[in-house]
Amino acid sequence: VSLGAIRVARLARVLRAIRHLRHRDGFQSLFLLIKSLQASAHVLWWSVMIMFFAILVFGMVMFELLSSYMQDDTVPLNERQEVFLYFGTFTRMCLTMFEITMGNWSPPKRVLMENVDELWGVYIVFYRCVLCFGIVSISGAVFVTETSRSVAADNEVAMMNKERSSKALKLKLERLFLELDTTCDGLVSYEELSAIMYDDTMKQFLSTLQMEVEDAHELFRLLDDGDGRVNGEEFIHGIMHMRGEAKAVDMLLLLKTVREIKSKVDALGEGSEASRLPSP
């Protein structure tokens, strides 16, 4: 077995280990970063291809225009050598254009303006405006958009985000329950709930939880299981189920329950009518 295959196998084991650690809070950001890199591979490939094509076109134009200058014996040798260091060969030209694209554009510009012609400064500024402010910025925006869209559509990321939001909501509700429990007995009574229910801060907090409950009595009745007190589990479970608007599945379940009750009531009614009929 080659050493390269062993390294690839070790890398695969590390990636699998990271995959299993995605549910831990400290590794969720790392898992999201890996997913983003995987989702951006296609966009990154085309962005690099477009950038390389633009660098090649502008670089070849510069190389052709500067070739006669570097071969002119009337120009001092040191000036031609200085230009040759940046644009003398195809490889040097591509590397220089890449430096200009990434930000280190002042040294090549100064060399061309001082040794060849000042109009080269205008050419490089035009190149920067077209490639950096145009192609690079657009590619970056498309890169971020496509990566965000792909990550948002990923099932594992969606489950991870849902789990994270559920944990955060549960933590908020635990803190809220401790604030409501003024007697510190682990139970919340109607008096404790109503004492803080009409506070503006509490109303704003409930609105952040997508809850629009104005009546403390109705809220307590929905949370209470009949013993007149609400414990922490009942409070958290009830609030989490009352958040937001009614879902379609909840409405269908309610409709099914109503139909079952109606059928039982109709059966009871038919039975009672049959019992009232006189026997022949």
**pLDDT surpassing 70 at residue 194:** yes
Lowest model confidence (mean pLDDT) among 28-42, 143-157, 234-248? 234-248
Tell me the pLDDT of the chain averaged across its residues. Answer: 77
Asked, for residue 254, whether it belongs to a domain, the answer is no
Which CATH number covers residue 177? 1.10.238.10
Per-residue pLDDT band at 271 (split at 50, 70, 90): low
> Is the predicted pLDDT of residue 87 greater than 70, yes or no?
yes
Beta bridge partners of 188: 230
On whether both 243 and 167 belong to a single domain, the answer is yes
CB-CB neighbours of 46 under 10 Å: 13
Q: What is the pLDDT of residues 144-183, one digit of tens each?
A: 787 777 767 777 667 777 777 788 888 888 887 887 777 8
Burial class (CB in 10 A: 0-12, 13-18, 19+), 84: middle
47 contact partners, CB below 8 Å, separation of at least 6: 139, 140, 142, 143
Residue 272 lies in a domain: no
Cα(180)–Cα(194) distance, integer angstroms: 9
Number of domains in the chain: 2
Is 72 contained in some domain?
A: yes
170 and 84, same structural domain?
Answer: no
Residue 12 within a domain? no
Q: Do 116 and 223 belong together in one domain?
A: no
Instruction: Give the integer Cα–Cα distance in Å for 137 and 251.
Output: 47
Quick one: 94 and 132 in the same domain? yes
Same domain, 44 and 126: yes
In a domain, residue 202? The reply is: yes
Higher pLDDT, 15 or 23: 15
* pLDDT value of position 94: 87
This prediction's pTM = 0.49
Assess if residue 3 is contained within a domain: no
Give the end of a domain, one of 126, 153, 180.
153
pLDDT at 210: 65
Q: Report the pLDDT averaged over residues 53-79.
A: 87
Mean pLDDT of 244-273: 72
Confidence tier at 9 by pLDDT (50, 70, 90): confident
Looking at per-residue confidence, does 212 or 44 come out higher?
44
Q: For position 249, what pLDDT does the model report? A: 56
Residue 189 lies in a domain: yes
Strands (E), the chain: 187-188, 230-231
Cα–Cα distance between 227 and 188 in angstroms, integer? 11
154 or 117, which is more confident: 117
Among candidate residues 127, 153, 179, the one where a domain is terminated: 153
Domain end residue (candidates: 153, 182, 197): 153
Task: Based on the fold, state whether residues 132 and 84 are members of the same structural domain.
Answer: yes
Residue 91 has pLDDT above 70, yes or no: yes
pLDDT for 10: 75
Do 86 and 50 fall within a single domain?
yes
In this structure, are 112 and 195 located in the same domain? no
- Do both 144 and 62 map to the same domain? yes
Same domain, residue pair 185 and 210: yes
Question: Structural domain of residue 85, as residue ranges?
Answer: 36-153
Most confident of 51-65, 192-206, 248-262: 51-65
Is the domain of 40 the same as that of 144? yes
| pLDDT, position 28 | 66
Distances (CA, A) of 230 to 164, 181, 223: 26, 10, 7
Report the pLDDT value the prediction gives residue 17, as an integer from 0 to 100.
65
Mean pLDDT, residues 221-240:
77
**Mean per-residue pLDDT for 72-87?**
88
Q: Taking a C-beta distance cutoff of 8 angstroms, is the pair 228, 190 a contact?
A: yes
pLDDT at residue 109 is higher than 80 = yes
Q: Which two tokens stand for residue 186?
A: 């682990």
Q: Within the chain, how many helices (H) and strands (E) appear? A: 14, 2
Burial class of residue 86 (count of CB atoms within 10 Å of its CB; 0-12, 13-18, 19+): buried
Given this model, what pLDDT does residue 18 score? Answer: 60
Q: Which amino acid appears at position 75 of this protein?
A: V
Residues 53 and 134 in one domain: yes
216 vs 237, which has greater pLDDT?
237
For residue 31, is it within any domain?
no
Burial degree of 198 (CB within 10 A; 0-12, 13-18, 19+): exposed
Instruction: Give 221 or 45, the one with higher predicted confidence.
Output: 45
The alpha carbon of residue 102 and the mean position of all alpha carbons in its chain are separated, in whole angstroms, by 27
Do residues 163 and 23 lie in contact, with contact meaning Cβ atoms separated by under 8 Å?
yes
The Cα–Cα gap between 280 and 276 comes to 12
